[in-house]
Amino acid sequence: MQLPVAFLLLCLLGIVQALSTAGNRLLVVIEELADKDKYSTFWSDLESRGYNLDFESPKSEKLTLFQHGERVYDHVLLLPPKSKGLGPSLTPKILMDFINGDGNILLALASDAPTPTAIVSLLLEFDIHLPSDRNALVVDHFNHDTISASDKHDVVLVPAPKALRPGAKNFFAGQSPDTTLAFPRGMGQVLGNESPLLHPILRAPSSAYSYNPKDQSETVEDPFAVGQQLALVSALQARNSARFTVLGSLEMLENKWFDAKVKAPGASGEKTTTGNRDFAKALSAWTFQEIGVLKVGNVEHHLNEGADQGLVELNPKIYRIKSDVTFSIELSEYNYDHWAPFTPPAKDAVQLEFSMLSPFHRLALTPSSSGTSSNSTLYTTSFTVPDQHGIFKFEVNYKRPFFTYIDETREVTVRHYAHDEWPRSFAISGAWTWIAGIWVTVAGWLAFVALWLWSAPVRSSGPADKAKKTQ
């Protein structure tokens, strides 16, 4: 009896402390613990949001992501090692297992040391390609910081990301629309076309290109990638909604770039402060599932008929064809530290499918004012069940970039009319002629029978016949 209570208390304690929906155990893999202080603002930002940071060197003996087959950490922040590899406890397979076990990974890259093969092959698993020369960095001769990199042009200034496409939510826009991000000495990635799970968060400016500083030649021939092809920060959300983010430049997280003043070449005098701190917050919050997390609450469906009187059964197993049905689903979105009502971005809609093999209905769900509370939105729609019996399902399949996936199905049987559910024939005026037809036939028949019996032929031998019958 005491053990469950203690366990419950422990769970409650965990809920109070964890501000991320996925847990608060964060492992930071950093090779030189002395370098830790360069990112102290970032660490304190993370700690203030409720994370328990655990710093480990990749060479450490006791470093392990799994214990007894369970994850030891909820999130991993991988800083690039200067040495050749990540060691035996962080092989690509273990990192893949970690993602498959719902763990989130934020991987930072840097161009000052060659990228280990383990990381390159891990990224290839996700269809993210790095430049073949391991020291490549992104330069831009038109959008660089003139204060810190007037000579090398390797601190690229990028405007804060726009929405991925119309109808997609932008989590990384920063405070103001003209926020500038400094991307110092970073490594660009090229994303494969095949994976629908892969999205760029930040693209390079159109005049940027990837370049190897060790290459001595004057001009760059056949660069790895140029312009918007280069993703500076990219994200993969696996099918289990675990998140994997690649940050091209580790230096972005350094204290000095959080509040650095930068100036673009053509800018008219004014120095601007970078939006790196907000971007780092949004990026880590998204990766560690503090934002963009959707939750399904109550899912209900019922018949419209008698719903006002409260007479209907909720979520019945069976419906009849052509009956009017209402479906509702409660959706919440996690917003740093609380569940908030979910509203899809403009030009997007949450849709309900009523399908048997293929959808018979695909309807936009509308938020209902009555069912919306302070931490969830109630989406409802009403429709008429199609004139087709079989096993149907209500399905809400909402998969959008940067949101965790929703795929809720409820299976119901749709039956045809029972024998006594058809309208009576006399209720349909069109049937009156045929009703009359039957009864006229019956009346005529009765008259005929009466006449037949009455007009029995006169028998000469009547009494004899009667005597015969009685025998």
Partner 1 sequence: MAPKRSGPSTPTSSSANLKSLSSSSSNSPSTSAGSSLSGSAASNTDATVILNHVWNRYVQNTPQRTKLLDAFLGFLVAVGVVQFAYCVLAGNYPFNAFLSGFSATVGQFVLTTSLRMQTNKENEKEFSSVSDERAFADYVFGSLLLHFFCVNFIN
Q: How far is the CB of 410 from partner 1 (least distance, A)?
A: 34
Q: How far is the CB of 415 from partner 1 (least distance, A)?
A: 18
H helices of 19-116, where?
Answer: 40-48, 92-100
Is 18 buried (19+), middle (13-18) or exposed (0-12) by CB count in 10 A? middle
Nearer to partner 1, 48 or 461 (CB): 461
C-alpha span between 289 and 19 (Å, rounded): 9
Do the beta carbons of residue 254 and residue 39 sit within 8 Å?
yes
Nearer to partner 1, 193 or 433 (CB): 433
Q: At what angle do helices 40-48 and 276-287 cross, to 10 degrees?
A: 50
Is 192 buried (19+), middle (13-18) or exposed (0-12) by CB count in 10 A? exposed
Per the listing, tokens 């053509």 go with 266
Contacts of 422 by beta carbon, 8 Å cutoff, 6+ apart:
none
Is 194 buried (19+), middle (13-18) or exposed (0-12) by CB count in 10 A? exposed
Nearer to partner 1, 12 or 464 (CB): 464
Q: How far is the CB of 196 from partner 1 (least distance, A)?
A: 49
Nearer to partner 1, 318 or 451 (CB): 451
Q: How far is the CB of 351 from partner 1 (least distance, A)?
A: 35
Nearer to partner 1, 84 or 459 (CB): 459
Nearer to partner 1, 7 or 434 (CB): 434
Q: How far is the CB of 442 from partner 1 (least distance, A)?
A: 5
Nearer to partner 1, 7 or 445 (CB): 445
Nearer to partner 1, 192 or 462 (CB): 462
Nearer to partner 1, 346 or 451 (CB): 451
C-alpha span between 159 and 49 (Å, rounded): 26
Q: How far is the CB of 324 from partner 1 (least distance, A)?
A: 22
Task: Work out the angle at residue 354's Cα, subtended by the Cα atoms of residues 351 and 360, and round it to the nearest 5 degrees.
Answer: 105
Task: State which H helix or E strand residue 17 sits in.
Answer: helix 2-17
What are the φ/ψ torsions at residue 314 (nearest 5 degrees)?
-85, 145
Q: How far is the CB of 449 from partner 1 (least distance, A)?
A: 7
Do the beta carbons of residue 142 and residue 265 sit within 8 Å?
yes
Q: How far is the CB of 377 from partner 1 (least distance, A)?
A: 44
Nearer to partner 1, 299 or 321 (CB): 321
Residues that bind partner 1 (CB under 8 A): 422, 424-425, 428, 430-431, 433-438, 440-442, 444-445, 448-449, 451-452, 455, 457-461, 464-465, 468
Q: How far is the CB of 395 from partner 1 (least distance, A)?
A: 35
Based on its alpha-carbon atoms, the radius of gyration of the chain, rounded to whole angstroms, reads 35
Long-range contacts of 65-73 (CB under 8 A, 24+ apart): 65/27, 65/89, 65/90, 65/94, 65/95, 65/97, 65/98, 65/103, 66/94, 66/97, 66/98, 66/101, 71/98, 71/101, 71/102, 71/103, 72/25, 72/27, 73/25, 73/26, 73/27, 73/103
C-alpha span between 462 and 139 (Å, rounded): 127
Contacts of 87 by beta carbon, 8 Å cutoff, 6+ apart:
58, 59, 63
- DSSP helix/strand/coil, 284: helix
Nearer to partner 1, 194 or 420 (CB): 420
Q: How far is the CB of 11 from partner 1 (least distance, A)?
A: 60
Q: How far is the CB of 414 from partner 1 (least distance, A)?
A: 22
Q: At what angle do helices 117-125 and 92-100 cross, to 10 degrees?
A: 40
Do the beta carbons of residue 190 and residue 230 sit within 8 Å?
yes
